[in-house]
């Protein structure tokens, strides 16, 4: 299984020269096993995917963790949606009252977007995800609601003997310095348990988090503690704050690493990065 990080930025895309190192596109990753591919989240990173070259089959599957704009902003410009011979399957969390389709409609309709969802030319199939496990080809996928404002799921994706866990927006505990000591009380921990690769929210510094409790994101410290509790093999810190320059982000990470000694690799996500599992 190969993972490509097409978009690593949180909140909004940035083209600033100060954000070129880790990339300016918002959340999107691609998971590849031979001729099978999955796209997870449709931030502006999805626009970096070469659909003509890599998606020769008629079917494309896109998993959405949630519908905050930085995770769907690329959807309206995603080429296969405008090709009548393509079958695009969108998988995302249902809401308490409104369906996934009606919530997507709010974005893909005027005045925010010129084309309404029903007029998208491709054969669009929308699937609501509860807490469930399902298969797409050789990928076995578990989705589970996790702690983030609005309906939001995390994904655990298994391919053969390898697993990837993707929780790009997550506040596993609100306003506490540490996770609850009992595993069953930690949001989404089952998704991440003993995973080979954990891609996790790390938007804030520990100090910043103090002013952003309830906003749905993690500090570097919380992401690392979460990864350690899950016994993940490898942590990639994701969802970089676009208000931070890359130099600031690097400095924040270096300071964090100097103070902590975890027994698994931790690195900052880089747009375009490929990881082989």
- Residues in contact with another protein by CB under 8 A are 93-96, 130-131, 144-147, 151, 173-174, 180, 183-190, 193
User: Of the two residues 181 and 259, which places its CB atom closer to another protein in the complex?
Assistant: 181
User: Of the two residues 10 and 151, which places its CB atom closer to another protein in the complex?
Assistant: 151
Q: What is the DSSP string of 170-223?
A: --SSSS-SS--SSGGGSTTHHHHTT-SEEEEE--B-HHHHHT-TTSS--BHHHH
Q: What is the C-alpha to C-alpha distance for residues 111 and 244, in angstroms, rounded to an integer?
A: 31
User: Of the two residues 115 and 193, which places its CB atom closer to another protein in the complex?
Assistant: 193
- Helix segments in the chain, DSSP class H: 51-54, 100-107, 189-192, 206-210, 220-230, 246-259
User: Of the two residues 30 and 201, which places its CB atom closer to another protein in the complex?
Assistant: 201
What are the structure tokens assigned to 5, written together? 């990080």
Residue 123 φ/ψ, nearest 5 degrees = -80, 95
Strands 235-238 and 266-268: parallel
CB of 216 to another protein, least distance (A): 12
User: Of the two residues 77 and 185, which places its CB atom closer to another protein in the complex?
Assistant: 185
CB of 61 to another protein, least distance (A): 21
User: Of the two residues 147 and 159, which places its CB atom closer to another protein in the complex?
Assistant: 147
CB of 212 to another protein, least distance (A): 16
Laid out side by side, the sheet with 123-129 consists of 123-129, 87-93, 59-63, 36-40, 28-33, 2-7, 274-276
CB of 132 to another protein, least distance (A): 8
Bond into 111 cis (ω within 30): yes
CB of 131 to another protein, least distance (A): 5
CB of 225 to another protein, least distance (A): 16
Q: What is the C-alpha to C-alpha distance for residues 10 and 171, in angstroms, rounded to an integer?
A: 14
């Amino acid at each position: 299984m190969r993972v490509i990080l097409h978009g690593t930025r949180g909140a909004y895309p940035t083209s600033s020269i100060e954000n070129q190192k880790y990339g300016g596109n918002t959340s999107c990753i691609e998971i590849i096993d031979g001729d099978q591919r999955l796209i997870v989240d449709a931030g502006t990173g999805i626009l970096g995917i070469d659909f003509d070259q890599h998606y020769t089959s008629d079917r494309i599957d896109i998993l959405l963790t949630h519908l905050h704009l930085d995770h769907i902003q690329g959807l309206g410009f995603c080429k296969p949606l405008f090709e009548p011979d393509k079958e695009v399957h969108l998988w995302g969390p249902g809401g308490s009252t409104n369906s996934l389709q009606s919530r997507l409609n709010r974005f893909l309709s005027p005045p925010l977007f010129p084309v309404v969802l029903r007029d998208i030319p491709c054969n669009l199939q929308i699937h609501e995800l509860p807490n469930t496990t399902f298969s797409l080809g050789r990928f076995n996928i578990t989705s589970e609601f996790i702690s983030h404002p609005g309906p939001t799921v995390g994904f655990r994706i298994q391919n053969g003997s390898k697993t990837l866990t993707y929780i790009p927006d997550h506040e596993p505990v609100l306003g506490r310095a540490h996770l609850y000591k009992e595993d069953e009380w930690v949001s989404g921990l089952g998704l991440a348990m003993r995973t080979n690769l954990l891609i996790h929210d790390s938007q804030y510094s520990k100090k910043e988090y103090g002013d952003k409790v309830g906003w749905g994101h993690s500090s570097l410290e919380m992401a690392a503690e979460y990864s350690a509790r899950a016994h993940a093999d490898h942590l990639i810190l994701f969802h970089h704050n676009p208000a931070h320059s890359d130099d600031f982000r690097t400095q924040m990470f270096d300071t964090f690493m100097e103070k902590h000694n975890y027994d698994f690799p931790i690195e900052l996500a880089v747009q375009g990065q490929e990881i082989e599992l």
